[in-house]
Amino acid sequence: MSIIIGVAGGTGSGKSTFTQRLKEEFGDMISIIYYDNYYKSRDDLTFEERKLINYDHPDAFDTDLLIEHVKELKNGNPVDCPVYDFSIHNRTHDTLRIYPSEVIVIEGILVLQNDELRNLLDIKIYVDTDADERILRRVIRDVKERGRDIEGIAKQYLTTVKPMHYIYVEPTKALADIVINSGLNDVAFDVIKVKIQSLLKRNAEREKEENK
């Protein structure tokens, strides 16, 4: 059975950095699901209308589909994950096939917010980073990778990102098994690595017993 790990935290906190380090450490043993790909499809709205959506509210996500996919992966079945394009504020018509693996990492700002999703997790991680550092990282990322302009980033941050962080994201820190202060924290990374190795060993021993 797969080990399910959730990596949550505010925008620009270092979630992706930490997740990528896990991928580099465990290689093909890890499959990654990005919660951002589960933003709801909004083909019914124009681009200008989609720009006004509050993307930091739980209702912006198709969490039911994500939960369904996590359960399928735990049962050993591959899933076709949606693909989201931030430059158009909408899903594309492509999908990404994700195969079952020994470790599945789910990364996103609200991974710990939904009770049903959180209860599927074996390890719950919250990456906590100073707000000034997070917004600077977001600005750089959104300009370089998502084709956004500074004015639009600032408006979105002040109207939705910041208030939603304190209402929905920050409170989930108390629900985490471990809180780390950076995606580059080596001590925290080593602790999680050892825990994953322990769970993998336990699963291997259980499977060996079942096959006797």
Q: Residues 46-57: pLDDT tens digits?
A: 999 998 899 999
Token digits of residue 102: 């020994």
Residue 57 pairs in a beta bridge with none
Angle subtended at Cα 84 by Cα 79 and Cα 90, rounded to the nearest 5 degrees: 130
Q: What are phi and psi of 43, to 5 degrees?
A: -65, -15
**pLDDT of 161 over the 90 cut:** no
Q: What are phi and psi of 178, to 5 degrees?
A: -145, 135
pLDDT attached to residue 192: 93
pLDDT attached to residue 131: 67
In angstroms, the CA 42 to CA 44 distance is 5
**pLDDT of 137 over the 90 cut:** no
Q: Residues 90-134: pLDDT tens digits?
A: 999 999 999 999 999 999 999 999 999 999 999 999 999 776 677
At residue 68 the predicted structure's pLDDT band, cuts being 50, 70 and 90, is very high
In angstroms, the CA 190 to CA 178 distance is 12
Q: What percent of the chain has pLDDT over 70?
A: 99
Mean pLDDT of the chain: 90
What are the sequence ranges of the domains in the chain? 3-187
What does CATH list as the number for 3-187? 3.40.50.300
At residue 212 the predicted structure's pLDDT band, cuts being 50, 70 and 90, is confident
- β 123-127/79-85 pair status: unpaired
pLDDT attached to residue 40: 96
